[in-house]
Structure 1
Amino acid sequence: MFLGFWGRFLILVLSSLAVILTVVIVACFVGPGCLGFEYLMRREKKKKFENETLGNVSPIPGKSKIPTPHICESGQNFWMDNQDLVVYQTGPSGMERKISNAEDALVYNTKEKILNLRCTPLLTGRNLYPKVHTSYPKLKIKLSYSSLKNNDTMGRLSVLVMSATSLPPREYISSLDPYVCLNIWQSKWPFQKADKDIHIVQTRVVKNSLNPDFDQTFIFDGIKREIKNWCLKFTIVDSDHLTRCRQLCEKVIYLRDLKNLMGEGSAILNLEMRHSPVIIGTLLFGLKFMPTAQRLNINVIKAAKLKYQNYSSSLLDFYPYVRVIMLNSSGKCLKKKKTCFKQGEYSPIFNQTLIFDLSTESLEQTVFLILLCTKLMTASHNSDESSSIDGDIEKSLKENKDKVLGMIVLGRNVKCTRARNHWVTVMQNPRKMISVWHELR
């Protein structure tokens, strides 16, 4: 059967399209950078991650698996890199080297248990998936605007900070010492912050309250056309004498959005406060509990990618160090220790061990605060001389006014799953040094 001209042309077009489609498909699944190739690589990495790091975790129906910390030989530090899944070892001099065979480096030994310790593994049971706290803190305020008498160009804004509800407690004690900080700046179009704040005020501190009543009024005078473009930022801060002032949540409102306010009116607002946790870096440290000697060894190894810009003018003026505070169940400070500081390093290596006396009976009630701080000192100080000073920590803080960049809370009942998992694993495997990366917040 002979085809006509259009029949042969149609067959030629279809054959060409089939060849082109085949070439495109092969190129997408073979060459890097294409969608198909990237999709297959992501699936392969995910499958490899589950096989290598989650093989020893018993699955729970309907739940995803969670990796366990790696239990290490006593006297050596091993940890797993979160990104490329390479096992590293830290030697006595602080140098790192890769270990090719992870199974040879890691020792899994869970037979040794601490007697009379009522600890349930977090990888099984209810505590694996704690309930998420979905209710956000709320701040009740009242805004009032009025024109000044005998001056049509000037106006007055009155801000009444009334109360706050459902504030999140501290991780180591169920209380707060909150206050509200109000920053006002002139907004630019489109909603850009000005160079500096026009007004900065704060309320009084309310002691031991998760639902504080402030009832404080602040009055601000300004030009009418400028007040319309004001931005008000409300920040709730916890005045903690151990970790310094810690921001809990914040909310920004624009007066231009409150149309009825500028017409000699008032408005009562219930602001839903949101907190975006700021990660200022990561810290690698190991824990080892010695039940016979009744002590806990905290091996502070290194920090990585610290965001120092908000705390130091330059990297040379950045003096990071780690301070560890031991607390009892009521939040009372029992003991404090700190490492030496490093100058001009945003990824410092400490490789220093801090020893705390800790009995088996107090394991469930004791909480450790691990703080990453920076010293504020003049350029005339010598880092080598200052690093050898072992004075009282409170005196040092008052003299140098050290700043806290971030913290990690360790304990049996802390909210952070990673920190709680690390603590319980150490308690169930005594005499083993377990090192894990933690985020500083």
Structure 2
Amino acid sequence: MVDAEFLGPWGRFVLIGAGAAAVLVFLLIIACFLTPGCIGYECVRKRRSICENVESQGRDSPNSINGTFESIETASTLPKDDPLKDFPTELTMSLQYLPASAENVTGKLVIGIEAVSNLPQKQYNCTLEPYVAVNIVKQSWSNRNPEKLHSFRTRGVRHTASPIYRETFVVADVKPQEVKEWAVDVTAYDHDRYANHTELCTLRVPLKEVKKLLTSPEIHLLNYKMKRSSKEFGNILLGISYLPTAQRLTINVARLANVKFAPTVPTLNDFNPYVRILMLNGKTGRKMKKKKTKFLRAAAQPEFNETLTFDLTFAQLETIQFLVAVWSKNIIAEENSSGQHSDSEESINSYKKSKDVCIGKVAIGKGARGATEKAHWFAVLQNPRKIVTVWHTLK
């Protein structure tokens, strides 16, 4: 009666409608939190994933430095490398076949490397020092394992991406029928004083496809487009963080995966990996500091979990770059059966002459060329006091 008098003759229906509307709204809110794709559901899912990541990082992360640092995993969120771009790299070479004659008792094949233009850039901010390797191979029906017959190499030309060589190489005692089975493999490398030489571009020229090579003794000047190299040597997991108050950058070398150490290292027993990190001047490319991890014996999937520290001001982060290289320690029999070092002069000299070999490298910093490498560096700058962990490809 009171409701009817207050709201009029329709008061009961108004109250029933209001109650039904409230129940409907409540059900819609619950459905929003339970239905994938809805705003409420996505908010709950993101908060839950963040909590799980923090708990897992704090429980078993190999990148934790101390309790004051927060650890974040960005391997799935950072952009991947862009597809390989078709660099307009061109090779100018000359070919000439001189058949047997009164002056030439046997035939000769003359290969000239004239010039290369528009080579790809270095991984880090430094000038190239390119050279060209020439291999003459005998093609098989499968082309999988061609037999290498002759090898040549040009000199290196510093500070240029378009070197001019004008060098010729001569293969003597060559019969015409042999030339038809041969191919010339041309590979452009960048000489790196700090790590392994980088393969830049490749090209294969089957000699049977060169017109008039065997019928005309003149010099044939040829232009070819080279293909950018996609050679990779495995992956490395790096966790990087910067502490502004202490002005300290830390790089945690966690582990390696899928390392392709052959043919640089013949067997797994000879593969003794360690990681060397060089701090380079971003403008000149000169080495400023060097640190390395311990080496592990015969480790196919090595785990280091070592943290290397570098003192840097915030202003230096704009120019400094780091070259992370994976090396294999060359260990020659240093100990005899009793566990003592051998005293023979031969073993001592061989130990001194032994050199470690570099497997692959990756550059980190603002001047790095790769998309993943740049994204990792900027994520570190945007998240001070946090460890940003990313998988990188060794090249």
User: What is the TM-score with the length of structure 1 in the denominator?
Assistant: 0.67
The 5-angstrom pairing of residues 335-346 of structure 1 reads 335-346=289-300
Cross-structure match for 1:15: none
Asked whether the 8 Å contact 1:184–1:231 carries over to 2, the reply is: yes
1:40-90: per-residue Cα shift (whole Å, max 9, x none)? xxxxxxx9xxx99xx98xxxxxxxxxxxx99x87xx9949xxxxxxx9633
Cross-structure match for 2:88: 136
Cross-structure match for 2:3: none
Task: Give 3-state SS (helix, strand or coil) of 1:433's partner.
Answer: strand
Residue 310 (structure 1) aligned with residue 263 (structure 2): yes
Task: Give 3-state SS (helix, strand or coil) of 1:423's partner.
Answer: helix
Q: Structure 1 residues 369, 106: closer, same or farther in 2, change over 3 A?
A: closer
1:255-301: per-residue Cα shift (whole Å, max 9, x none)? 11123111134422212111232222111121111111111111111
Cα separation, 2, equivalents of 1:260 and 1:303: 51
1:324-380: per-residue Cα shift (whole Å, max 9, x none)? 000112211100111011111111010111111111011111100111111222244
Q: Structure 1 residues 88, 223: closer, same or farther in 2, change over 3 A?
A: farther
Cα separation, 1, equivalents of 2:303 and 2:114: 47
The 5-angstrom pairing of residues 228-267 of structure 1 reads 228-265=180-217, 266-267=219-220
Q: Structure 1 residues 318, 264: closer, same or farther in 2, change over 3 A?
A: same
Residue 354 (structure 1) aligned with residue 312 (structure 2): no
Asked whether the 8 Å contact 2:196–2:360 carries over to 1, the reply is: no
Cross-structure match for 1:367: 321
Cα separation, 1, equivalents of 2:108 and 2:326: 43
Task: Give 3-state SS (helix, strand or coil) of 1:308's partner.
Answer: coil
Following TM superposition, by how much is the alpha carbon of 1:400 offset from its aligned partner in structure 2, in angstroms?
3.5
Asked whether the 8 Å contact 1:319–1:344 carries over to 2, the reply is: yes
Task: Give 3-state SS (helix, strand or coil) of 2:249's partner.
Answer: strand
Where structure 2 has 5 or more consecutive residues not aligned to the other structure, the ranges are 1-36, 65-69, 340-350
Cross-structure match for 2:17: none
Asked whether the 8 Å contact 2:329–2:357 carries over to 1, the reply is: yes
The 5-angstrom pairing of residues 46-57 of structure 1 reads none
Cα separation, 1, equivalents of 2:326 and 2:87: 30
Asked whether the 8 Å contact 1:301–1:349 carries over to 2, the reply is: yes
Cross-structure match for 1:400: 354
Aligned length, in residue pairs:
327
Residue 206 (structure 1) aligned with residue 161 (structure 2): no
Asked whether the 8 Å contact 1:147–1:264 carries over to 2, the reply is: no
Cα separation, 2, equivalents of 1:179 and 1:296: 35
Cα separation, 2, equivalents of 1:283 and 1:170: 19
Task: Give 3-state SS (helix, strand or coil) of 1:240's partner.
Answer: coil
Specify which of 343, 363, 374 is matched with residue 420 of structure 1. 374
Q: Structure 1 residues 336, 129: closer, same or farther in 2, change over 3 A?
A: closer
CA-based RMSD of the aligned residues comes to 3.5
Specify which of 387, 391, 395 is matched with residue 433 of structure 1. 387
Q: Structure 1 residues 129, 155: closer, same or farther in 2, change over 3 A?
A: closer
Cross-structure match for 2:16: none
Asked whether the 8 Å contact 2:107–2:175 carries over to 1, the reply is: yes
1:365-414: per-residue Cα shift (whole Å, max 9, x none)? 110011111122224469xx9xxxxxxxxxxx995322221111111242
Asked whether the 8 Å contact 1:319–1:342 carries over to 2, the reply is: yes
Asked whether the 8 Å contact 2:274–2:296 carries over to 1, the reply is: yes
Cα separation, 1, equivalents of 2:63 and 2:154: 51
The 5-angstrom pairing of residues 13-412 of structure 1 reads 78=57, 89-90=61-62, 133-150=85-102, 154-191=106-143, 193-195=145-147, 197-221=148-172, 222-265=174-217, 266-329=219-282, 330-380=284-334, 399-412=353-366
Asked whether the 8 Å contact 1:153–1:224 carries over to 2, the reply is: no
Following TM superposition, by how much is the alpha carbon of 1:151 offset from its aligned partner in structure 2, in angstroms?
8.3
Following TM superposition, by how much is the alpha carbon of 1:228 offset from its aligned partner in structure 2, in angstroms?
2.0
Following TM superposition, by how much is the alpha carbon of 1:420 offset from its aligned partner in structure 2, in angstroms?
1.2
Q: Structure 1 residues 209, 379: closer, same or farther in 2, change over 3 A?
A: same
Q: Structure 1 residues 162, 107: closer, same or farther in 2, change over 3 A?
A: closer
Task: Quote the sequence identity (%).
Answer: 31
Q: Structure 1 residues 192, 434: closer, same or farther in 2, change over 3 A?
A: closer
Cα separation, 2, equivalents of 1:431 and 1:180: 45
Q: Structure 1 residues 77, 227: closer, same or farther in 2, change over 3 A?
A: farther
Asked whether the 8 Å contact 1:77–1:433 carries over to 2, the reply is: no
Cross-structure match for 1:23: none
Q: Match for 2:291: what amino acid?
A: K
Task: Give 3-state SS (helix, strand or coil) of 1:362's partner.
Answer: helix
Cα separation, 1, equivalents of 2:373 and 2:192: 21
Cα separation, 1, equivalents of 2:309 and 2:159: 32
Larger radius of gyration: 2
Q: Structure 1 residues 381, 279: closer, same or farther in 2, change over 3 A?
A: farther
Following TM superposition, by how much is the alpha carbon of 1:318 offset from its aligned partner in structure 2, in angstroms?
0.6
Following TM superposition, by how much is the alpha carbon of 1:128 offset from its aligned partner in structure 2, in angstroms?
10
Where structure 1 has 5 or more consecutive residues not aligned to the other structure, the ranges are 1-46, 57-68, 80-86, 93-104, 109-121, 386-396
With 274-283 and 135-144 compared, the bigger mean Cα shift is at 274-283
Q: Structure 1 residues 132, 296: closer, same or farther in 2, change over 3 A?
A: same
Q: Structure 1 residues 304, 128: closer, same or farther in 2, change over 3 A?
A: closer
1:206-253: per-residue Cα shift (whole Å, max 9, x none)? 111111100011111122221221111011111111123221111011
Cα separation, 2, equivalents of 1:371 and 1:78: 26
With 355-364 and 427-436 compared, the bigger mean Cα shift is at 427-436
Cα separation, 2, equivalents of 1:370 and 1:344: 20
Cα separation, 2, equivalents of 1:357 and 1:88: 27
